[in-house]
Amino acid sequence: MTDTWLNETLYADWGQRFRIKRELARVQSDFQDIVIFESHTHGRVMTLDGVVQITEADEFVYQEMLAHVPLLAHGAARRVLIIGAGDGGVLRRVLQHNSVEQAVMVEIDGEVIRLSKEHLPRIGGIAWTDKRAEVIVGDGIDYVRRAADARFDAIIVDSTDPIGVGEVLFTDEFYRDCARILTERGVLVNQCGVPFMQADELRETSRRRAQFFPDVSAYVAAVPTYVGGFMTLGWSAKAPGLRHIPAETLRERAQAAGILTQCRYWTPQIHAAAFHLPPYIAEHLPG
Ligand code: SAM
pLDDT digits 0-9 by tens, 209-234: 999 999 999 999 999 999 999 999 99
Predicted pLDDT at 224: 98
157-182 confidence digits (pLDDT tens): 999 999 999 999 999 999 999 999 99
Q: What is the pLDDT of residues 1-17, one digit of tens each?
A: 568 999 999 999 999 99
- Name which residue sits closest to atom 15 of ligand 1, judged by CA: 84
For residue 169 and ligand 1, the question of a CB distance below 6 A is answered with yes
Q: Does residue 87's CB lie within 6 angstroms of at least one atom of ligand 1?
A: yes
Work out the average pLDDT over 53-81.
98
User: Ligand 1 pocket: which of 107, 115, 175, 205 to mutate (most atoms <8 Å of CB)?
Assistant: 107
Quote the Cα angle for 198-200-202, to 5°. Answer: 80
Mean pLDDT, the chain, integer: 97
What is the CA(83)–ligand 1 centre distance, in A? 7
Residue 139 CA: nearest ligand 1 atom is: 24
Does ligand 1 have an atom closer than 6 angstroms to the CB of 109? Answer: yes
Instruction: Indicate which residues carry an active-site annotation.
Output: 158
- Record the pTM: 0.98
Looking at residue 1, what is its pLDDT?
A: 56
Q: Is 135 in the pocket of ligand 1 (CB under 6 A)?
A: no
Query: Across residues 182-190, what is the average pLDDT?
Result: 98
Task: State the closest ligand 1 atom to the C-alpha of 46, by its place in the atom list counted from 1.
Answer: 9
Q: Are 9 and 15 in contact (CB under 8 A)?
A: yes
| pLDDT above 60 (res 50) | yes
Q: Give 186's Cβ-side CA count (13 Å radius).
A: 23
Assess whether the C-beta atom of 165 lies below 6 angstroms from ligand 1: yes
Helical H segments across the chain, by residue range: 59-74, 89-94, 110-119, 121-124, 140-146, 172-181, 195-209, 247-257, 268-273, 279-282
Give the pLDDT confidence of 110-156 residue by residue, as tens digits: 999 999 999 999 999 999 999 999 999 999 999 999 999 999 999 99
The mean pLDDT of 250-279, rounded to a whole number, is: 97
Ligand 1, atom 1, lies closest to the CA of 53
